[in-house]
Structure 1
Amino acid sequence: MVLTDKIKKVADELFATSKKIYDNPEIAFEEYRSVEQIEKLIKSHGLPFKKGIAGLKTAFMSQIGRGKPTIALLCEYDALPGIGHACGHNLISMMSVGAFLALKDMDLKGQVLLIGTPGEEGGGGKIKMIEKGIFSKVDAAMMIHPSNKTLPGKEFLAVDEFKLIFKGKSSHAAAAPEEGINALDACIQTFNNLNALRQHLTPDVRIHGVIMDGGLKPNIVPDHASAEFLVRCADQKAMPALIGKFRRCAESAASAFEAKIDIEHKMGYKAMKRNMAFEKVFSDNLTSLGIRFDQDTPLMGAGSSDIGDLSQIIPCIHPTLKICRHPIHTLEFAKATQTETAKKALLIGAEALAMTAIALIRDDDLLSKIKKEFSSL
C-alpha cells in the first residue's frame, strides 16, 4: 500500500507529463521538449537530473540511493515520423518515472538509476550509451512497453539494415536497349532471389525491403537503382550466415545483369536475451496487483529494439502491458495512450517496476539467481 499511495500522489503529474510528450512528438535524438518535461518533473521532487550523458543531448540520468546493487529504470520518449507516439513511448517514460518517484526516500541499501535512452526508433540510442560505458556498473535494467497484450517478456529479433545501390548503364530503351545495363532489373531480381530463398529459411527469419529509386523515364534504361532491406532473425548466432545468404542474393542478381553493386550496412540491433528468473519476479509482482497475462504466441508480433543489445551485456526485462486491442505503430494505438485504460496501466506498471526494483535490491539471492541465468545463456 505504501507504493500504491506514493504513486497515486504523483499520478496527475505523470498523466500531465505523458500528455505533453504525446502532444509534442519528437523523432529520434530530437526529443528536447520531452526531456525538458521529464526534467521539470524530476527536479520538482528535489532529485538530481543530468542531461547530455554519453555525448547525446537528449540522454539523461537521475539517481536515488547509493551503493550496490544498481538497478536501472529505462525511459524511452522518441516518436515515430508521421504518426507520433504510436509506440507509446510517452507511457514507457512515465511508468519508469513513476516507479522512480515512488522509490524516493525509501531505505533501499542500493541505488536506482532513471536512465533516459533517446532514439530507440531506428537510432540505437542504447547502443551508443553502451559504448560510452553508461551501463557498465548496472546490475539489471527494466522497462515496460504498452501493447495490445500483457506479457511477462518480449521476443526481439536481431536486425541488420542494408542499403543496396545498383549501377548500370543508360541507353534508349527502344532504339538501343542492347547497349544498356538495367540497374532496376538487377534490383528486382534481388527481390526474386530472396523470395526463392524463403522456403529454405527458418520460421523466425524476416527479410523485407523497399525500392527507393529505379530510374527516371521508361524510355531510358535505368543506370541506377537502390533498395533498403531489414534482415531479422531470433537467433543472434545465426545472423552472420543469414546475412551471407542475403548478400549473395544481391550480388548474384547484379552479376546476372552485369551491373555493379554497393552494399552499405547502415545499422543493426541484437536479439533479446530473455531472462526467465527476472521475468518471474516482475510477473509475480504484476499478478499481485490483479493483472492477468495474455497467452503468448512466440515470435508473433516480434520486432526489434536496441534493448536487445543491452540484454546481451546485463540482465534485462521488457514486459508489455495491454492498453487496447490495436497493434503498435498505428494511429489507433497512439490515441489509445490517452485513454483512462492507459492511465490505469501507467500506474500499475509503475508500481510493478518499483516492487521489482525493491525485490532485486533487498534479496541478494534473487539477484544472484538472475545473474547466474544470464551467464548461462
Structure 2
Amino acid sequence: MKQIDPENEGCGGALEQSFQVIYDAIESKSLELRDINRKIFDNPELGYAEFKAHDNIVVFLQSMGFAVTPHAYGLATSFRAEFGSGGRVVAFNAEYDALPEIGHACGHNLIATASIAAFIGLAAMLRGTNLPGRVRLIGTPAEEGGGGKLLLIDAGAYKDVDACLMVHPTPPWPQVPAGTIQTTGSAYGTTNANVKFNVSFIGKPAHAAVAPYEGVNALDAVVLSYNAVSMLRQQTRPSDRIHSVILEGGQRPNVITASTKSQYYVRSASLKSARALKERVKNCLDGAALATGCKVEYELINEYADVRCNKTLSRLYTTAMANLSSPVDCDFDNPTVIAGSTDQGNVSYACPSIHAMFGIRCPPGVANHTPGFTACAGTDESHDRAVITGKAMAVAAWNVLVDDEDASNVRKDFERDILLERWDPENFDWL
C-alpha cells in the first residue's frame, strides 16, 4: 500500500524534540496504565453496566489532580476529564464495555488504555507550555450495540470539539509485498453504517389441531420474511450486509403462534445507503405480513453511521506513528474498509474524527469478537502497542491545538466530507 512520507507530510521537524514531554509523561505512568488495563480486562462489563471500569478510571485520574466529572452527560458509566483553558478542544474517546460470555474480545481495554495515555501526555504538554487549548477524555459506554456515543452526541459532548481521536485493535496487520515497509495498522479508513431494528409480527392464537383455520400464524410470517430477505441478498451490493435472529418464535407446537419478534442489522457503506437498504428489507417484511394476514410493527434500536476519517488528522497520526517507529497505512485513494460498524461513525458526522486501527499479535485465523482475540487483548505486548498509539494520538492532537494551518485543514476536510457521500453506491468508487 502507498505510504504517507513523514519527511514531506505532517508536523516533524522542529516540533519533534518537544514531543519527548508527551512520551515521558506517559512512561511515568506506565505501571498505573498497565494496572488500569488489567482491571478493565479482568472485570469485563456489558454496555451501560461498566461501573468498575468507570470508577477505576475516575479514581486514577483524580489521583493525578485532574478535574473529572463522573456519571457525565446523564449516563451512569460515562465520565469527562478535561485539562487546559481557552483555545481549541481535542477529545479522546475511551471505550471499556465488553461482550457477553467472551469478555474483551474486541479489545476495549486497550482502547481505554490508549486514550487515557493520550490524555495524560497531552495534558503534560499543555501544562509545560502554558499555551491555550483544552484536552478532553470522554468515557464512552456501550459501543457494542448500545449506542453510547449517540447519547453523548445528543447531550452535547462533542459540540465544541475541534478533533476527536481514538484507536481500535485488530489481529496482526496484513503482510505486504517484499520491499515494502511492514506497517502496524491503518490511519485512514471507514466502516459500514448499521441500522438496527426489531420486528414484531402479530397474529391470532388457535388450537393447532382442533381449529388451525381460526388462527393467524406469526411464526409463518417470520419464516417467510427470513426467506424473502435471503432472496434479497442476491441483489445487494458487495459492501451490504443483512443479519437477523428470531428472538421470540412461539411457545408450543399445538398452539398457532400469535406473536414473534426478530432483530435485524442492516449494514452498508454509508448511512444513506444503509437506510435505503433498510427500506428494501422492510418491503420483504411487509410482504410476509400481507401474505400471512399478520400485522407488523417496527422498533428502531439505533443507527451507527459509517466512519468518515478526517484526512488531515490521519496524516498527523501517520507521521506521529512513523516517528515512533510504528509506520501505519495511510492511503487516501484506497482506504482501509472494515465491514463492521461503530458508533464512532456518528461522532465523525458530528466533529472531525479518526478511528485508527492497530494490529496486535494473534494466532492465525483469530479475529475480533472471538474467544481467541480475548486472549490476545490481554497480553503485555498488546498493552505496549496501545501505549504507542496513545503517544501518537497525543502528538497529532497537539498539532491541532497549536498549529492554525493544521486546525484549518482539519475543519475544511470535515466540511467537505459532510457535503459529500464518501462512497458512491452506483460504481463503488471512493470519492
When normalised by structure 1's length, the TM-score is 0.94
Unaligned runs of 5+ in 2: 1-19, 174-184, 418-431
Residues 1:76 and 2:130 are matched in the alignment: no
- How far is 1:217 from its partner? 2.4
- Counterpart amino acid of residue 318 in structure 2: S
1:324 touches 1:333 (CA, 8 Å); kept in 2? Answer: no
Residues 1:347 and 2:387 are matched in the alignment: yes
1:154 touches 1:302 (CA, 8 Å); kept in 2? Answer: no
**Secondary structure of 1:78 counterpart:** coil
In the other structure, the counterpart of 1:124 is: 147
**1:327/1:298 CA distance change after superposition, 3 Å:** farther
Residues 1:329 and 2:369 are matched in the alignment: yes
- Counterpart amino acid of residue 295 in structure 2: K
Higher mean alpha-carbon deviation, 148-157 vs 33-42, is at 148-157
From 110, 118, 133, the equivalent of 2:156 is 133
Matches of 1:120 and 1:368, distance apart in 2: 30
Higher mean alpha-carbon deviation, 154-163 vs 31-40, is at 154-163
Matches within 5 A, 1:178-197: 178-197=213-232
- How far is 1:183 from its partner? 1.2
Matches of 2:190 and 2:416, distance apart in 1: 18
In the other structure, the counterpart of 2:22 is: 3
In the other structure, the counterpart of 1:311 is: 348
- Counterpart amino acid of residue 116 in structure 1: G
Deviations, residues 210-241 of structure 1 (Å, cap 9, x unaligned): 11122222233322222111111112222332
From 351, 357, 366, the equivalent of 1:320 is 357
In the other structure, the counterpart of 2:208 is: 173
- How far is 1:294 from its partner? 6.0
Unaligned runs of 5+ in 1: none
From 386, 394, 402, the equivalent of 1:362 is 402
In the other structure, the counterpart of 2:238 is: 203
**1:303/1:251 CA distance change after superposition, 3 Å:** same
**1:106/1:74 CA distance change after superposition, 3 Å:** farther
Matches of 1:99 and 1:295, distance apart in 2: 21
From 70, 73, 96, the equivalent of 1:54 is 73
- Counterpart amino acid of residue 342 in structure 1: S
In the other structure, the counterpart of 2:106 is: 87
Deviations, residues 235-277 of structure 1 (Å, cap 9, x unaligned): 2222332222111110101111112211221222222122222
2:95 touches 2:109 (CA, 8 Å); kept in 1? Answer: yes
From 189, 192, 198, the equivalent of 1:163 is 198
Where do 4+ consecutive residues of structure 1 move more than 4 Å?
294-301
Superposition RMSD in Å: 1.9
Residues 1:96 and 2:115 are matched in the alignment: yes
- How far is 1:67 from its partner? 1.2
In the other structure, the counterpart of 1:286 is: 321
When normalised by structure 2's length, the TM-score is 0.83
Residues 1:38 and 2:57 are matched in the alignment: yes
What percentage of aligned pairs have identical amino acids? 36
Matches of 1:302 and 1:87, distance apart in 2: 14
**Secondary structure of 1:327 counterpart:** coil
1:204 touches 1:299 (CA, 8 Å); kept in 2? Answer: no
**1:295/1:102 CA distance change after superposition, 3 Å:** closer
From 261, 282, 286, the equivalent of 1:247 is 282
- How far is 1:95 from its partner? 0.8
**Secondary structure of 1:268 counterpart:** strand
- Counterpart amino acid of residue 280 in structure 1: R
Matches of 2:405 and 2:335, distance apart in 1: 30
- How far is 1:292 from its partner? 3.3
From 393, 413, 425, the equivalent of 1:373 is 413
Higher mean alpha-carbon deviation, 288-297 vs 229-238, is at 288-297
Deviations, residues 88-111 of structure 1 (Å, cap 9, x unaligned): 111111111111112222324311
Matches of 1:323 and 1:305, distance apart in 2: 19
